[in-house]
C-alpha cells in the first residue's frame, strides 16, 4: 500500500517536519493558487517515478499553471487528484528510508540531484542512533561539505539533524512504513523541507525473538558427549579426545561402550549420576529430537548439535522440531551443523577442531565453522589468545547477537570479533555494539559473495553497505579481511578504543617513516609537531635527524638513542606512538623492543611497534608479543590498526579537509 504525496506531507507535519506550502485539487478544478514559481504534480500511488513519467511540471505564472493543470489532466486520464506546491531551492539532498529485515528502519542521506546514482554519496543511519552518532555519519558524506559551505551552497547541519530526529520518531511509531522517499529534500541555512514524498507500507515481517543467554551457558562444569565413539575416524571420538584437557567433568554417552578414551561411558544421558550442564550431540540428524528430549529430562542447559543434515540440507521441518523440543525443556541450542565452541581459559574444547587456541581476551563468534579451524591454527602461531570461540552453525536457536550480548557482559572478554554472513537480530545488535570494542568481518558484500554465502549456510546475506554503515554508526569496526581483523584485535586488546588521534612516529629508516606518515595523513590521524622539543632532541640525536615527525633517528640508531628520544618525546601530547625498527647493521633489536615496552609502561599511553624484516627482528617481535604490545610487519598494517582503533577518525578527517 502506498501513501501519496499529500498523505506523506500530512504525516510529516504531524511530527513537526516542515513541508512545502501546497494545495490538493481534483480533476477539473483550477484552485486559487497564486504563489510562483510553483510545481504541479499528479497525485497517485501507482506512479513511482513521477518526474520520469512526465507527471511533474514547473510553472512560473498563473497562466503556465492553468496550462499545466490541463496538460496533466489530459496526459494522465486515470489520475483524479493533483497537487500544486511552492518551488523550493537550496542544497538538494537525498533522503530515503528503508526497512531492513535485520536492522529495521534505516535512513539513507546524501547528496541529491541527478548525479545521486552516479556518485553514490549516501550514508545509512539506523533509527536507533543518537543525534551525535547521526551527525558523525552525515560528516562522512559530500552532503556535509555542501551544508558546511561549498561555492554558493550553505545549509544548517543542526536543522538537518532536527529533521532526522523527527523522522526517527515518526518511524519508531510507524513500523508499517517499508519505504519512505523524501527525495529531494532542500536544505538551506534556515530550513529543511522535503519537496516530494512517497511511502510504501507493508506489514512488518515476523522476526525472531531475542532471548538473552544466561551468564554461564558457555562455562559449563560438566559436558556429556552423546554419540561418543572409540573409532578415531568418528566425530564422536574427536569430541571426547578434545575434552581430555577440560578442567570439568566429561561424560561420554553411547549404549555400545563401557569406556571411551578412559572416561566411563553411559548408555543414555539420563543415566549419568551427576548434573550435566552441556551436551555435545553427534548422532544422526533424525534422532536428535529424541536425544534432546532426554537432555531436557536430565536438566541439560546447553545442547551443542554438531550433527548436520538440517536446514542446510533442506530439512527445515526437522530443525523446527529440534527447536520446539528445546523450548519445551528450556534448553538452549547451539547449531545444528556447528563446529562447537571453545573456552581456552577453562581448557575446554567442546568442538571437533583439533587445536585449542591460546588463552586471551577475544571472543570470536563465527558463522563459518571452517573459518574457525584456520583462525585457531593461525592464532597459535601468532600468539593471539581467545576467551571463547563459538561456531554458530545454523542458528536454529542461539543467534550471533545473543552471543554478542553475552560477550559484552562477560568480564573475561575485552574485544569481540564476529564473522557475519547473515544476521537476523540486527536491531538488537545495535544496542550492544558500542559497549565493547567490536570488530566485524561481513561476508556477502557482492552478488558473487552473496550467492556463495547463501549456498553455504542458507542464511541470506544482507546489504553490505547498510550493515557497515549502521554498525559503524553505533561504534562497531567493520574490516575488509581476516588479517585486518586480527591486526585490529591486537591493538584493541592492548588499548581498547582511543578518543584522541594524535600520532607520533619514531623510526630508524626514512622510507618506512614516510610511508607511515602517508597512511596516517590519508586516514585522518594527526601527526603532532615535535617543534617544542626540537632543541632538546637535537642535543641527543645526530645532526642529520629528520627534525620533524616522523622522528628519524637515522640508520645507526641503537637502543640508547631510541631511549633518549623516547624520554624527551614523552613530554609531548600524543595519543599513540608508532615505533618503526628496521634491521640496520648497528640495530640492537631486542634491546630496542625492551625500550618500547618501557615507553608503553612509563607513558601509560598506546605504543605500537612496526618491526620490519625477517629473522633479524624476530626476537624483538617475540618480546613485544609477550608483553602485549601490538606489533606489525608493515607500516600500512600498523597505521591501519591504529586508525581503526581511534573513534571517529573518518569524520575528523573530513573536518580537516573541510578546513583546508
Under 8 Å between Cβ of 12 and 197:
yes
Q: Is 301 in the site for a second copy (CB under 8 A)?
A: no
The H or E element that residue 58 is part of is: strand 56-59
Among the listed residues 188, 191, 268, 514, the single contact to a second copy using CB under 8 A = 514
Question: What is the closest distance, in whole angstroms, from the C-beta atom of residue 371 to a second copy in the complex?
Answer: 4
Footprint (CB under 8 A) of a second copy, residues 533-552: 543-544, 546-548, 550, 552
Q: Which of 410, 408, 407, 401 is nearest to 429 (CA)?
A: 401
Question: What is the closest distance, in whole angstroms, from the C-beta atom of residue 449 to a second copy in the complex?
Answer: 3
Among the listed residues 304, 517, 569, 592, the single contact to a second copy using CB under 8 A = 517
224 burial class (0-12, 13-18, 19+ CB within 10 angstroms)?
A: buried
Please provide the size of the chain in residues: 660
Among the listed residues 203, 448, 535, 659, the single contact to a second copy using CB under 8 A = 448
| Residue closer to a second copy, measured from CB, 404 or 486 | 486
Footprint (CB under 8 A) of a second copy, residues 339-398: 352-355, 366-371, 373-375, 377-382
Q: How many residues bind a second copy (CB under 8 A)?
A: 95
Question: What is the closest distance, in whole angstroms, from the C-beta atom of residue 445 to a second copy in the complex?
Answer: 5
Residue 175 CA to residue 6 CA, distance in Å, equals 20
Q: Is 265 helix (H, G, I), strand (E, B) or coil?
A: coil
Letters for 203-242 (x = contact with a second copy by CB under 8 A, - = none) are -----------------------------------x----
Among the listed residues 37, 45, 449, 496, the single contact to a second copy using CB under 8 A = 449
Question: What is the closest distance, in whole angstroms, from the C-beta atom of residue 52 to a second copy in the complex?
Answer: 9
| Residue closer to a second copy, measured from CB, 351 or 396 | 351
User: Which three-class secondary structure string do you get for 1-54?
Assistant: CEECHHHHHHHHHCCCCCCCCEEEEECCCCCCCCCCCEEEEEECCCCCCCCCCC
| Residue closer to a second copy, measured from CB, 127 or 439 | 439
Residue 475 CA to residue 651 CA, distance in Å, equals 13
Question: What is the closest distance, in whole angstroms, from the C-beta atom of residue 446 to a second copy in the complex?
Answer: 3
C-alpha cell, 81: 487528484
For CA atoms 510, 515, 521, 525, give the dihedral sign. Answer: negative
φ, ψ dihedrals at 245, nearest 5°: -90, -5
Q: Is 650 in the site for a second copy (CB under 8 A)?
A: no
| Residue closer to a second copy, measured from CB, 106 or 551 | 551
Letters for 456-485 (x = contact with a second copy by CB under 8 A, - = none) are xx---x------------------xxxxx-
Letters for 130-149 (x = contact with a second copy by CB under 8 A, - = none) are ------------x--xx---
Contact residues for 508 (Cβ-Cβ < 8 A; gap 6+): 552, 553, 554, 555, 557, 562, 580, 581, 582, 584, 587
DSSP state of 60: S
Chain centroid to Cα 72, Å, comes to: 48
Footprint (CB under 8 A) of a second copy, residues 560-589: 582-585
Footprint (CB under 8 A) of a second copy, residues 493-512: 508-512
Amino acid at each position: 500500500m502506498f501513501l501519496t504525496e499529500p498523505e506523506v506531507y500530512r504525516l510529516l507535519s504531524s511530527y513537526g517536519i516542515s513541508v512545502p506550502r501546497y494545495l490538493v485539487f481534483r480533476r477539473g478544478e483550477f484552485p486559487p493558487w497564486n504563489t510562483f514559481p510553483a510545481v504541479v504534480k499528479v497525485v497517485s500511488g501507482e506512479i513511482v517515478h513521477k518526474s520520469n513519467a512526465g507527471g511533474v511540471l514547473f510553472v512560473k505564472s498563473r497562466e503556465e499553471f492553468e496550462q499545466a493543470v490541463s496538460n496533466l489532466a489530459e496526459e494522465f486520464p486515470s489520475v483524479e487528484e493533483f497537487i500544486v506546491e511552492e518551488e523550493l531551492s537550496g542544497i538538494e539532498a537525498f533522503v530515503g528510508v528503508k526497512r531492513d529485515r535485520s536492522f529495521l528502519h534505516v535512513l539513507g542521506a546524501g547528496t541529491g540531484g541527478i548525479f545521486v546514482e552516479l556518485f553514490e554519496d549516501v550514508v545509512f543511519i539506523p533509527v536507533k542512533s543518537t543525534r551525535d552518532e547521526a551527525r558523525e555519519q552525515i560528516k562522512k558524506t559530500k552532503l556535509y561539505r555542501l551544508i558546511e559551505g561549498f561555492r554558493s551552497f550553505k545549509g544548517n547541519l543542526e536543522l538537518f539533524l532536527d529533521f532526522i530526529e523527527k523522522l526517527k520518531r515518526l518511524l519508531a511509531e510507524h513500523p508499517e512504513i517499508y519505504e519512505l522517499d523524501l527525495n529531494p529534500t532542500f536544505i538551506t541555512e534556515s530550513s529543511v523541507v522535503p519537496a516530494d514524498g512517497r511511502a510504501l507500507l507493508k506489514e512488518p515481517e515476523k522476526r525472531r525473538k531475542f532471548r538473552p543467554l544466561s551468564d554461564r551457558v558457555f562455562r559449563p562444569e560438566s559436558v556429556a558427549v552423546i554419540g561418543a565413539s572409540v573409532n578415531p575416524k568418528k566425530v564422536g571420538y574427536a569430541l571426547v579426545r578434545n575434552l581430555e584437557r577440560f578442567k570439568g567433568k566429561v561424560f561420554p554417552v553411547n549404549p555400545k561402550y563401557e569406556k571411551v578414551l578412559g572416561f566411563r561411558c553411559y548408555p543414555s544421558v539420563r543415566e549419568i549420576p551427576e548434573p550435566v550442564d552441556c551436551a555435545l550431540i553427534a548422532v544422526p540428524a533424525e534422532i536428535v529430537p529424541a536425544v534432546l528430549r532426554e537432555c531436557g529430562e536430565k536438566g541439560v542447559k546447553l545442547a551443542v548439535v554438531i550433527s548436520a543434515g538440517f536446514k542446510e540440507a533442506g530439512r527445515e521441518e526437522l530443525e523446527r522440531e529440534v527447536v520446539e523440543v528445546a523450548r519445551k525443556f528450556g534448553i538452549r541450542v547451539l547449531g545444528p551443523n556447528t563446529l562447537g565452541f571453545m573456552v581456552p581459559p577453562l581448557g575446554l574444547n567442546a568442538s571437533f577442531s583439533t587445536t585449542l587456541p591460546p588463552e586471551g581476551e577475544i571472543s570470536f563468534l563465527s558463522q563459518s565453522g571452517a573459518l574457525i579451524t584456520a583462525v585457531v591454527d593461525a592464532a597459535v602461531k601468532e600468539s593471539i589468545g581467545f576467551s571463547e570461540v563459538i561456531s554458530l552453525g545454523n542458528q536454529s536457536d542461539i543467534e550471533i547477537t545473543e552471543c554478542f550480548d553475552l560477550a559484552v557482559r562477560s568480564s573475561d572478554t575485552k574485544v569481540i570479533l564476529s564473522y557475519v554472513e547473515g544476521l537476523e537480530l540486527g536491531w538488537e545488535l545495535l544496542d550492544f555494539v558500542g559497549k565493547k570494542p567490536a570488530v566485524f568481518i561481513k561476508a556477502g558484500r557482492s552478488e558473487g559473495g552473496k550467492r556463495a554465502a547463501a549456498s553455504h549456510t542458507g542464511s541470506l546475506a544482507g546489504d553490505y553497505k547498510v550493515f557497515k554503515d549502521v554498525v559503524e554508526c553505533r561504534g562497531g569496526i567493520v574490516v575488509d579481511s581476516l588479517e585486518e581483523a586480527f591486526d585490529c584485535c591486537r591493538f584493541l586488546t592492548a588499548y581498547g578504543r582511543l578518543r584522541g588521534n594524535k600520532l607520533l612516529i619514531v623510526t630508524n629508516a626514512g622510507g618506512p617513516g614516510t610511508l607511515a606518515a602517508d597512511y596516517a595523513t590519508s586516514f585522518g590521524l594527526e601527526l603532532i609537531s615535535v617543534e617544542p622539543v626540537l632543541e632538546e632532541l637535537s642535543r641527543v640525536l645526530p645532526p642529520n635527524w629528520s627534525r620533524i615527525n616522523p622522528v628519524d633517528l637515522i640508520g645507526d640508531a641503537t637502543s640508547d638513542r631510541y631511549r633518549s628520544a623516547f624520554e624527551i618525546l614523552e613530554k609531548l601530547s600524543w595519543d599513540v606512538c608508532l615505533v618503526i625498527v628496521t634491521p640496520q647493521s648497528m640495530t640492537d633489536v631486542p634491546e630496542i623492543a625492551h625500550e618500547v615496552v618501557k615507553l608503553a609502561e612509563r607513558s601509560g599511553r598506546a605504543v605500537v611497534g612496526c618491526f620490519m624484516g625477517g629473522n633479524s627482528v624476530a626476537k624483538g617481535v617475540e618480546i613485544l608479543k609477550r608483553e602485549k604490545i601490538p606489533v606489525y610487519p608493515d607500516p600500512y598494517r600498523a597505521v591501519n590498526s591504529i586508525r581503526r582503533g581511534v573513534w571517529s577518525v573518518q569524520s575528523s578527517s573530513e573536518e580537516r579537509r573541510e578546513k583546508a
